[in-house]
Every structure is written in structure tokens, then in C-alpha cells.
Structure 1
Amino acid sequence: MTAAKAHLDSMRSWWVWGAAVAAYLIAVTQRTSFGVAGLEATERFNATASILATFSVVQLVVYAGLQIPVGILVDRWGPRAMITGGAVLMVVGQGLLAMAESVGAGLVGRFFVGAGDAMTFVSVIRLLPAWFSSYRIPMLTQVTGMIGQLGQLLSLIPFVALLHRWGWSSAYLSLAALSVLAAALGILLVRDRPRAIARPPALATPKSGALLAAAWREPGTRLGFWTHFTTQFTTNVFLLTWGYPFLVSGQGVAPATASLLMSMFVVVAIVFGPLVGAATARYPLRRSTLAFGVIGTIAACWAVVLFWPGGAPLWMLVILVIAIAVGGPASMIGFDFARTFNRPGNIGTATGVVNVGGFLAALITVYVIGLILDLIQRAAGEGAELYTLDAFRWAMSFQFIPMAVGVIGMLLSRRTARARMASNGTIVQPLLVALARRRRQS
């Protein structure tokens, strides 16, 4: 057994991954903390809907904009430095937000939070090939995302409790302290690779432009980008900004019930993450088909809720939340495309490209929804209620546009990817043809 093989799946591997995932969980807590404080932020900053959306948009712009640079830097500097540096930035960002009393100061804080968050997930995914065997990676990718989503529970339950009991500043300072723990984990436990493994040449002197060009030339990277774009953005829109106001003000759900519905995202990730990971590993040639099924379900559920006469019943809202939440595990399929289509020294860059997708779509959608809500309120006149059901129907319907764009991108990039695979001897038959052939053989 080679030195590289000897260290795969070892106890040290699990320690390194565990520390990195803990840092990612903390990053998700920082990311989602503003979404559950939307009503308090409206009062603290005297903000309109579009200004409130701007907080999330700034964070998402920074996150999405840094994914490619972060991917390149992970390939150059290694995951440990990026995870630790990201945690430090989030300490600064949440500390600034805790003290902020104006919109400008608050936006600066969210800028740093977005930058630190951007450095974390890509780095954790980049660690996996160095420490684990290839057959474990699809499942570990899902479990990484699943554990990370537990950060939503930290923001939904203890953070909201702190916010209501001790106020804005104390609650956000507690989040800053949590990121200090993430930085310590990165320094003490995370390692880029086993000591016996030499640093890969691609990590020593990479050229950023060459890394990015090589990643984008791979059709699997583009397919991963559009898969992530389409499956994940509704989850971000719902969790980061508009889910809670939509449920409480639009659908008339009690705040406690809305919090319970939001917490379902974690439960769904725990249940469906391993299932999606197992399906991805077992049927690698049908990964895009699985993603299309999830996208279709999300679109159908949104259509039912938005066109339901009056407020949708609670059971339908539960189904909607489950469908949206499955988009999180499904978005991890995009990273599996990046891993399998790119050489090891370029996985960080390709992962960064893929991770741009869902956040790019989300930041556009979050802002446009806020803009539509403001336009409707202005048309209704001064003093009109801000978040009405009809206003939300128009605003949330915008989501169908990026869904359509993403599906088109997936279809085009999948065609190119399958042509590349065919040239290498792997023919992917249409699903119905493959199923008919299997029935005949059985």
C-alpha cells in the first residue's frame, strides 16, 4: 500500500474532517443569523424591504464573487489557511454588526461575514480527496452539507432566544465568539494532507488564469455550476431573507410555527442527504436526472402555494418546505460533477466555480423580490401594508425565471458532458431507453 493509500479513511482523517465540518457548521450559523433577525433588523435600521434585502444581497455578492478566487487560493495555499482565515473574518464581521446602528455600518459587517463564509465550504470539500477514498467522497460531501445545515438550528433556536432576551448587540457578539472557536479548530486540528504525502506540484506554483480556464473547459464543471444554480437558490432565498416574512406576514402563520417550519430544513437535510449521496455514488451516470426531479418538484410546489386561493393550508406549506429543503442535498451533486471531471490539483478551483451558481441566482432573486415588494407598496400608497399575500405572490413568482434559466443551462452543458464521455468510451443512454433495456434483460 502506498503512503497516500495508507492514510485514507484513517482515524486522523476523521479528526481533520470533523474539525473542518465544525468550522463549516459555525459558518452556516453566521450566514443564516440575519435571516431570522429580519424583523428586528427592520426596526433597528428603520429599513424598507429593498434595504433589508440589500443586507442579504451584499453578503451573497461577496460570497458568490469570492468563490472562484477562493477556489484558486485553496489550490495554492491549502484548506487549513482558508478555513482559519475565514473564521477570523467572520469574527470581525459579526462584531461590527453587533455595534452597527446604521445601514452602512451593518452592510460592512455583512461584507466581512460573507467573505469569511465564502472561504469555508470550498476548503472543506477540498480536504476530502486528500484524506478519504473515492467511494466515500459522495456520501461525505452530503454529510458535510447535512452537518453544516445544523448551523440553521443554532441561528433559529439559541440565537433567536439570545436576540429576544439580551438584544441585538449581545446576540451578535455571541456569534463572533463562536467564530473564534472555528479559528481555533482550524489552527489546531485541520491539516491539508498527511505528512507523508508530498505537496502536489499543482499546488506549488499554480497560475490563477490557467486553473480557472482549465476548470471551465471541463463540461462537467459547467454542468455542476448550473445544477447548483438551479437546485440551491430557492433554499438560500427562503432561509436567508424571505422565508420567514413570507410565512408570517404573507401566509399568516404564527411566528412559532414559522420557526418550526424553518427548522425542518435541517431535518430534511439529515434524512435526504444520505439518500442523495448514496444514489449519486450508486448511479453516477444519472446524477443530472436526480437533480431534474428535485427541480421539478420544487417548481410544482411553489406553483401550488402561490396560486392557492387565499393562504395555503399548513400541510401544503410543510410539503413546500420539504421540497425546497431537498434542494440543498441535491445541490451537492454539482460538486460531484466538479470532482469527477477535473484533475485533483484543480478540484478547489472547479468547486469554487460550481459554488458560485446557487448564490449568484439567490442574490439576484433576493434583491428582485425586495424590489417587487417595494414597487407594489408604492403603487398601493403610503401607509399600505408592506408584506401582503398578493404582494408575495407576485414577488415570489420571480423564482420561476432563474429556474428556467438554470434548467436550460443544465441541458446544454449535460449534452456537451455526455459527448465528452462518449468520446472516451462511456455512452449514457436516455433514461427511458436504459430502463426499457433493463426490463428486457430481466
Structure 2
Amino acid sequence: MPGPSADPPGGARALWVWGIGVAVYFIAITYRTSLGVAGIDATHRFDINASALSTFSLLQLLVYAGMQIPVGLLVDRWGTKRILLLGVVLFTAGQFGFALSGSYAMALGSRALLGCGDAMTFISVLRLGSRWFPARRGPMIAQVAALMGMAGNLVTTLVLARVLDTFGWTPTFAGSALGGLAVLLLVVFCLKDHPEGHEPQRETRAGRGYVRSQITAAWREPGTRLGMWVHFTSQFPGMVFLLLWGMPFLVEAQGLGRGTAGELLTLVVVSNMACGLVYGQIIARHRAARAPLVLGTVLATALAWAAAVFWPGPGHTPMAMLVVLCVVLGACGPASMVGFDFSRPANPPERQGTASGIVNMGGFTASMTTLLAVGVLLDLTGDNYRVAFASVFVLQALGVTQIARLRGRAVRRERERVVASRVEAVHVPV
């Protein structure tokens, strides 16, 4: 029987078990993005203005980001199955509560509950993949998981929107919550944390000592910090555009109809899925391409953002430029996933959840900051999108500075680990 440190075998059973985790993540993304097609309905149902409506998205991101490190610690200590079960129960209850909400306060509480459950899914899926597949498959497994999440976003924009128009608020959201019950049964009866003989080493200490040691050890690794800043710098422009400010920018600043604007947002999602497959293949075959791929994506995003927002001359930005912007923004999500490819080799299996939580917190912190900054600047400048959207460049500059500072240190440390593992393999006693 292989020891705990041996590479997991992969295979058909690994695909089945990991697929259950991905199905949970798919449902979570569908619930997370469901408000994006129901904003107008929500303003009428709860009698709220645009600022109150934006609070839904901000609260979800705040809960999600705040839960990342606690969830990572729990995954490392309790295992994937328990955390996924808790996550499914919470986000399904949140979706049911949102369906039945008759007041703004109840709806807000339901979205917070949903965000809490959603926060438990992606880190668990990453951990599940690392326990069931060989390490060389890590980049592709992570990108495919993210791709399936974006497929949940497509279901929201293409299916849920039409169902909402046809059947109304309560039947749509309550009906969609049935998907949570289905994946709950799959997790209970079919999901297993790891293959036989590949149990991770577990920390025996409990309480604050365990928490402090896990966080400190993960943060001490340059690869973890580099991964967090990669996620921070890459993810947020696409998320800010998709989650809240893309539609107002396209309709109010660019004079497009809602239908056309919706098609451009769908283009971001499709581009995200296509780029995810390409990025995963590149990184799996060429580890040295990680940083250039990230920095190239950040540069392309900054250039496309600047061209679309600050297009010279009278009139609106040409449609061709808006299409280019949406295609480039689709690469933001896959580029952010590279952050996990820096943290994964820097941490042992028993610390993967904590490290992933630190990394995942980066992009959502940047997204929250930008969502707030754009809203405040729009209010202060009388809806001047050029000034408000310029806030993106500040966070990109901060992130690139940190990536440049940590990159060399992280790569050297990773090489040292590879050499040490090879030496250890040669001198294993028989």
C-alpha cells in the first residue's frame, strides 16, 4: 500500500469523486450569480434603490472573503466531505430563504447565508483534486473546476433569466434550490476525502495553537504570498465588470441596449471558459510560463480597460473595442487561478486548505475594494465612469509591485523543495 506522501493515482474513480465536488461548486456559482439576472425584479419586490441593491453583492463578497482562511483551516482539520456538506446546507438554505423573502432584511440575511456556504466550496474542490490526482495534473484540474463554475454562470444568464420571466420570483429561486438538495445526497453517499492509503498527515494540536501554526506556516512560504498577490491582481477587473458595474457602464456610459449589454457579459463568461482550458494546458506543460502568463494578462487587461474607458474623440467607444475588452476580461479568472499553482507546491498536503484560503482571499478583497471605490467615485463625480473606472489601475499597480517583489524568492524556494524531495526519494530506506 502506498504511503501518505505518495502521489495519488487518479483514474476513473478520482474523476467520479472529484466530479461530485465540482457539481457542488457549479450549483454554488449558479446561486451566487442568480441575483445578476434578478436585479430589476429585486428593486420592485423589496422597494429598494440602486445603492441598497448593490449591498447584496458587497455583502456576499465580504462574507466570502472573510470566510476563506477559516474555511481553509477547517478543511485541513475536518476534511473535505464535512466542509462540503456544511457548505451545501448553508447555500441551499440561503437560496430557499431568498425565494421566500418578503422583506429586504430577510433577503439580505439569506444572501449572507448563501455567501457563507459558497465560501466553503472552491477551497474544498481544490483540496479534493490534490488528494485524488497526481501533482502534475494540478493546474489543469484547478482550471477545469473554475471552468465548470463559469458554466454555472452561463446557466444563470441563459436559463434562470428566462425562467424568472416566465414563472416569477418564488418558483424560480425555490426551484433552483432543489439542485442543492440533489448534490447534498451525492456528497453524503458518494464523496470520499481521499483514496485508500493516501491519508494526509493531520495536526494533533488543537485550539488557537493549531490555528496560529497553520496560518503562520502557510504565510511564511513565499509561494503562498505570491499566489495571493497573483489572485489579487488578476481576478478583480473581470469580477467587478461581471458582478455589478459592467451592465451600468455598457448601458449608461456606452448607450447600449440591455440585450446587447447582456450579450457582451455572456462573451466574458465564454472567453473565461476558453482561456481556462488554454491556460491549464500551458501551465501543466511549462511551469516557467506561470508568471509571464499572469503579467501578460494583467498588462492586456490594463490596456483594453484604458482603451475602452478613455476612448478618444466624440461619441461612444466602438463596439469592436468593447468586444476586445470583454474577451480580455475573460482571461482574468484563469490568470487568477495561477495563484494556486504557486501556493500548491509550497505547502504540504495537510496545509493545502489554509494556503488556498489565503490565496483565494486576494482576488475577492480586491473586488470588494474596487466595487466600493467605483460606487463612491461615481457618486462624487456625477456618474463619471472614466474617473471611477480608473481606480482599477491603482490596485493593478499595487499587485504587480508585490508580484515582482516575491517572484524570485518563491521560485528559488520551490526549486529547493524539488531538489530536497528528489534527494529524499533516492535515500528512502528499504
Q: SS state of the match for residue 344, structure 2?
A: helix
Structure-1 separation of matches of 2:297 and 2:352? 25
Shift of 1:192: 0.3
Alpha-carbon distance between aligned partners in 2 of 1:34 and 1:409, rounded to the nearest angstrom: 34
* Cα drift, residue 425 of structure 1: 9.2
The DSSP-based 3-state class of the residue aligned with 2:331 is helix
Whether 1:312 aligns to 2:317 is yes
Residue number in structure 2 paired with 1:399: 392
The correspondence of residues 271-282 of structure 1 with structure 2, limited to 5 A, is 271-282=274-285
1:358 and 2:363 are equivalent in the alignment:
yes
State the Cα distance separating 1:246 from its structure 2 match: 2.0
Root mean square deviation of aligned Cα: 2.2
Equivalent residues in 2 for 1:317-396 (5 A)? Answer: 317-377=322-382, 391-396=384-389
Number of equivalenced pairs: 414
Corresponding residue of 1:2: 2
Deviation of 1:421 after TM superposition, in Å, equals 5.0
Q: State the 1:67 CA deviation.
A: 0.3
Instruction: Answer with 269-278 or 123-132: which moved more.
Output: 269-278
- For structure 1, list consecutive stretches of 5 or more residues without a partner in the other structure: 378-389, 427-442
Paired with 1:264 and 1:407, the residues of 2 have a C-alpha distance of 26
Residues 198, 140 of structure 1: alpha-carbon distance in 2 compared, 3 angstrom cutoff: closer
1:285 matched to 2:288? The reply is: yes
Kindly indicate whether residue 270 of structure 2 is the aligned counterpart of residue 300 of structure 1. no
SS at match of 1:215: helix
1:83 and 1:59 map into 2 onto residues whose CA distance is 18
2:63 paired residue number: 62
In 1, the alpha carbon distance for the partners of 2:326 and 2:204 equals: 41
- Which secondary structure state, in structure 2, belongs to the residue aligned with residue 237 of structure 1? helix
Structure 1 residues 407, 7: closer, same or farther in 2, change over 3 A?
Answer: closer
Change (3 A) 1:396 1:168: farther
Single out whichever of 237-246 and 339-348 deviates more from structure 2.
Answer: 237-246
Describe the shift of the 1:116–1:354 C-alpha distance in structure 2 as closer, same or farther (beyond 3 A): same
| CA distance in structure 1 between the partners assigned to 2:355 and 2:174 by the alignment | 34
Per-residue Cα deviation, 1:327-377 (whole angstroms, up to 9, x for no partner) = 111111001111011111111100010000110111111122222333345
* 2:233–2:400 Cα contact (<8 Å) kept: yes
Aligned in 2, Cα 1:73/1:425: closer, same or farther, shift over 3 Å?
Answer: closer
SS at match of 1:200: coil
Q: Secondary structure at the match of 1:176?
A: helix
TM-score (norm 2): 0.90
Deviations 1:241-295 (A, max 9, x none): 1222222233222222222222223322332112111221222133112100000
Query: C-alpha offsets along residues 391-425 of structure 1, whole Å, 9 cap, x if unaligned?
Result: 33332222222112211221222243245457779
Q: Please give the alpha-carbon distance, in whole angstroms, between the structure 2 residues aligned to 1:193 and 1:204.
A: 22
- Residue 404 of structure 2 corresponds to 411
Task: Quote the residue 2:262 is aligned against.
Answer: 259
Give the conservation status (yes or no) of the 8 Å contact 1:20–1:185.
no
Following superposition of structure 1 onto structure 2, how do residues 141-160 of structure 1 map, counting pairs within 5 Å?
141-160=142-161
Structure 1 residues 203, 407: closer, same or farther in 2, change over 3 A? farther
Aligned partners of 1:83, 1:303: CA distance in 2, in Å?
40
**Aligned partners of 1:49 and 1:373 also within 8 Å:** no
Partners of 1:53 and 1:370 within 8 A in 2 = no
- After TM superposition, the structure 1 stretch with the greater mean CA deviation from structure 2, 103-112 or 194-203, is 194-203
Q: Does the 8 Å contact 2:238/2:329 carry over to 1?
A: yes
Q: Give the distance between the partners of 2:133 and 2:323, measured in 1 at CA.
A: 36
Query: Which structure 2 residues correspond to residues 174-323 of structure 1 after superposition, within 5 A?
Result: 174-202=175-203, 207-308=210-311, 309=313, 310-323=315-328
1:332 is paired with a residue of what secondary structure? helix
